[in-house]
C-alpha cells in the first residue's frame, strides 16, 4: 500500500514539515516554543496510550506511572554512570516496557473494569515505590537532576534547541505508530480489540500480543518520561501522579480513540487548554477575582473543564476531535455542492 493515499497528502505533509521545522521555530518567541515543546512531549505519550487503549482496547489508568519509571531509570543512569542521553532514552523506554508488561499480566485473565482497577493499583504501587525507595528516587524530595542533553559538542540549553530535539522524536513516534498499525502486529491489536475470541481463532496469540501492546505503550510512556526529565532537567515523581494518567486518557478520548491524528489533536488540545484558561482568567480577573484567587482557581477550573470535556465527548462524539476534523474535511472536499 502506498504511504500516501492521495497526492495532496504528500504536499500537505511537506507543507506541515516546512511549517513546523522552519517557519514556527525561527519566527516564534521562546515562550511559545516552550509551550510547543510541552505539546510535542505529550503527543508521544498520547500516541503510546492510544496504542493500548484505542487500538488494542485495553484500559490503563497507569500511564503516568510508566512515565515515572522511564524518567527515574534515565535519571539514575545519567547521574550514577554518566551514560549519554540516547542510551538513557532507550534504557528508560525499555525499563518502562518491562514494568508495563508486568502490570499488563492481569490483562491475560481479566479485562474491562477489572483491568482498569488493576492498572490503577499499578499506578499507586509504582508511585509509592519510587517515593519510598531512596535507591530509585535519590532521596532528597524524590527528585534527581540530570545534565542537559548534548548533540556532539553542542549542549541543548534553549527552548529553541529543545524544540528541534523533541520534534525529531515526535516525527519518529508518529511515523512509527502509523507503520506499526499497518503491520501484522498492529492488525493483531485491532483484531483483539474488536473481538478477542475471533482473533484467537484466526491464529493470533492473545497472550503475546496483549503483553506486547502493554510493552509498546509503556515504551512510549517511558520515552515520554525521559524527555520530560531532560526537558525540565529534573526527574520528579510529582510530574507523574495519577492526575497525569487521567490527563492522558482525556487526551485520547477528546482526540479520538484508535487514531494517530486524534492523539495529536488531543495532546495539543489538553496541553493548550490550561494556558488558554489562564489567558481567559487573567483577562477577566481584574473584574471578578483578585490575582491570588485566580492563581488558585486555575488548576481547579482546568480539572473541571477536563472532566466536562471527557463526558461531553463520550456522550456526544465518541470518536473525538478526529471525527470532527474528518467531518469538516469531507464537507469542504465537495464544497460548495453538499451532495
Partner 1 sequence: MLEALDLQFTILLLSNGVMIGLMYSLIALGFVLVYKATDAVNFAQGEFVMIAGFVAVGALTVAGIPLWLSILAALVAMVGFGFALERVMLRKLIGRPIIAVVMATIGLAAILRGLGPFGIFQGTRPLPLPLRDEPFILGPLFIPPIQLLGGIVSLVFLAGFGYFFLKSRKGVAMRAVADNQQVAMAMGIDVERYFGLAWAMTGVVSALGGVLWGNMLGVDVNLALVGFKVFPVVILGGLDSIPGAIIGGLIVGLVENLAAGYIDPYVGGGTKDFAPYVLMILALMIRPYGIFGKRIIERV
Question: Looking at 140, 202, 315, 338, which residue binds partner 1 (CB under 8 A)?
Answer: 315
Question: Looking at 121, 178, 272, 324, which residue binds partner 1 (CB under 8 A)?
Answer: 121
Distance CA 309, CA 317 (A): 10
Helix/strand/coil for 1: coil
Q: Which stretch binds partner 1 (CB under 8 A): 70-78, 182-190, 263-271, 296-304?
A: 296-304
Return the residues of window 135-164 that contact partner 1 according to CB under 8 A: none
Contact between 109 and partner 1 per CB under 8 A: yes
CB of 123 to partner 1, least distance (A): 9
Question: Looking at 59, 156, 166, 235, which residue binds partner 1 (CB under 8 A)?
Answer: 59
Residue 37 vs 322, nearer CB to partner 1: 322
Question: Looking at 94, 303, 324, 325, which residue binds partner 1 (CB under 8 A)?
Answer: 303
Q: Which stretch binds partner 1 (CB under 8 A): 54-62, 81-89, 165-173, 178-186?
A: 54-62
Backbone φ and ψ for 218, nearest 5 degrees, come out as -70, -30
Query: Residues 6 or more apart from 271 whose CB is under 8 A from it?
Result: 35, 38, 39, 42
Work out the burial of residue 328: count CB atoms within 10 Å of its CB; fewer than 13 is exposed, 13-18 middle, 19 or more buried.
exposed
DSSP 151-214: ETTEE--SHHHHHHHHHHHHHHHHHHHHHHHHSHHHHHHHHHHH-HHHHHHTT--HHHHHHHHH
Q: Cell 488558554 sits at which residue?
A: 276
Rounded to 5°, the CA angle 108-100-244 comes to: 120
Return the residues of window 246-285 that contact partner 1 according to CB under 8 A: 246, 249-250, 253
Helix/strand/coil for 253: helix
Q: Taking a C-beta distance cutoff of 8 angstroms, is the pair 235, 146 a contact?
A: yes
Return the residues of window 197-226 that contact partner 1 according to CB under 8 A: 206, 210
How many chain residues interact with partner 1 (CB under 8 A)? 50
Residue 106 vs 176, nearer CB to partner 1: 106
Contact between 300 and partner 1 per CB under 8 A: yes
Contact between 102 and partner 1 per CB under 8 A: no
Which spans of this chain sit near partner 1 (rule: CB under 8 A)? Answer: 53, 57, 59, 61, 105-114, 116-118, 120-122, 124-125, 128, 131-132, 196, 206, 210, 246, 249-250, 253, 296-297, 299-311, 314-315, 318
Amino acid at each position: 500500500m502506498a504511504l500516501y493515499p492521495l497526492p495532496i497528502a504528500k504536499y500537505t505533509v511537506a507543507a506541515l514539515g516546512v511549517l513546523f521545522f522552519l517557519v514556527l521555530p525561527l519566527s516564534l518567541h521562546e515562550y511559545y516554543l516552550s509551550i510547543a515543546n510541552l505539546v510535542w512531549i505529550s503527543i508521544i505519550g498520547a500516541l503510546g496510550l492510544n496504542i493500548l487503549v484505542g487500538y488494542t482496547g485495553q484500559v490503563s489508568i497507569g500511564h503516568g506511572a510508566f512515565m515515572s519509571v522511564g524518567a527515574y531509570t534515565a535519571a539514575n543512569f545519567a547521574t550514577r554512570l554518566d551514560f549519554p542521553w540516547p542510551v538513557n532514552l532507550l534504557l528508560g523506554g525499555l525499563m518502562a516496557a518491562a514494568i508495563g508488561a508486568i502490570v499488563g499480566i492481569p490483562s491475560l485473565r481479566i479485562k474491562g473494569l477489572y483491568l482498569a482497577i488493576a492498572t490503577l493499583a499499578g499506578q499507586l504501587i509504582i508511585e509509592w515505590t519510587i517515593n519510598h525507595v531512596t535507591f530509585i528516587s535519590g532521596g532528597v524530595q524524590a527528585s534527581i537532576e540530570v545534565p542537559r542533553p548534548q548533540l556532539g559538542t553542542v549542549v541543548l540549553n534553549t527552548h529553541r534547541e529543545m524544540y528541534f530535539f523533541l520534534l525529531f522524536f515526535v516525527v519518529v513516534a508518529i511515523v512509527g505508530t502509523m507503520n506499526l498499525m499497518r503491520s501484522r502486529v498492529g492488525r493483531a491489536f485491532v483484531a483483539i480489540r474488536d473481538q478477542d475470541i475471533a482473533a484467537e481463532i484466526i491464529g493470533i496469540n492473545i497472550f503475546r500480543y496483549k503483553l506486547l501492546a502493554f510493552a509498546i505503550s509503556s515504551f512510549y510512556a517511558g520515552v515520554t518520561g525521559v524527555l520530560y526529565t531532560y526537558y525540565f532537567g529534573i526527574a520528579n515523581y510529582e510530574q507523574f501522579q495519577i492526575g497525569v494518567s487521567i490527563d492522558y486518557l482525556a487526551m485520547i478520548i477528546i482526540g479520538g480513540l484508535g487514531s494517530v491524528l486524534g492523539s495529536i489533536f488531543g495532546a495539543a488540545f489538553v496541553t493548550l487548554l490550561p494556558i488558554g484558561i489562564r489567558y481567559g482568567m487573567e483577562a477577566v480577573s481584574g473584574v471578578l477575582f483578585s490575582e491570588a484567587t485566580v492563581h488558585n482557581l486555575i488548576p481547579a477550573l482546568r480539572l473541571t473543564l477536563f472532566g466536562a470535556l471527557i463526558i461531553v465527548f463520550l456522550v456526544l462524539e465518541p470518536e473525538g476531535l478526529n471525527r470532527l476534523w474528518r467531518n469538516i474535511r469531507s464537507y469542504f472536499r465537495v464544497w460548495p455542492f453538499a451532495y
